[in-house]
């Protein structure tokens, strides 16, 4: 599997159930949200701005996507809506790995850079790190309409957050 195929499989609307574990102080949260993954054309202006800010160019094998979320339907929780734009640029010599560029559209407009890896089990690992934080997310498909994700976040004091997501594709009848 390559990065394009992985994101083609991911495109669409998903119902996401998250279990989040804050390790310091110990706290557990469970949330539901709607996730939308939209594959963007290489000519998309937002993708062009992200690449320009990072001195890189989209290639024919690059993938750009807008990932949006909405947990407004979650009873008793603060409403959260937002979106992130990502660009994945495969390494020319080893297309199973590559560069990850990520930019939030509202809450965190900061550009983050990292890397991705398509593993031998066809899962995707995304890694973003800088001098203050390390974040790793692994995504995989249990079936065509069931996606799983897990993430770990580590700061200068050690691992401080772990999360598990199960996501069911919203399928429309035809």
Whole-model pTM? Answer: 0.90
Residue 37 and residue 59: Cα distance in Å, rounded?
20
pLDDT tens by residue, 19-52? 999 887 888 888 899 999 999 998 899 999 999 9
pLDDT tens by residue, 79-90? 788 999 999 999
Q: Strands (DSSP E) along 3-145, which ranges?
A: 12-23, 26-40, 63-70, 81-90, 97-104, 111-118, 124-129, 133-143
Q: Which CATH class is domain 3-169?
A: mainly beta
């Amino acid at each position: 599997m390559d990065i394009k195929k992985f994101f083609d499989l991911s495109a669409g609307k998903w119902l996401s159930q998250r279990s989040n574990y804050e390790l310091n102080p110990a706290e557990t949260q469970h949330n539901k949200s709607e996730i939308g993954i939209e594959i963007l054309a290489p000519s998309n202006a937002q993708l062009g701005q992200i690449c320009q800010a990072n001195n890189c160019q989209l290639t024919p094998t690059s993938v750009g996507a807008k990932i949006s979320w909405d947990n407004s339907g979650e009873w008793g929780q603060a409403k959260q809506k937002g979106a992130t734009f990502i660009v994945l640029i495969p390494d020319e010599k080893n297309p199973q790995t590559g560069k990850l560029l990520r930019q939030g559209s509202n809450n965190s407009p900061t550009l983050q850079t990292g890397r991705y890896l398509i593993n031998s089990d066809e899962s995707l690992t995304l890694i973003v790190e800088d001098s203050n934080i390390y974040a790793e997310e692994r995504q995989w498909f249990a079936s065509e309409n069931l996606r799983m994700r897990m993430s770990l976040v580590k700061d200068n004091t050690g691992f401080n957050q772990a999360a598990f997501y199960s996501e069911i594709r919203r399928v429309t009848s035809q």
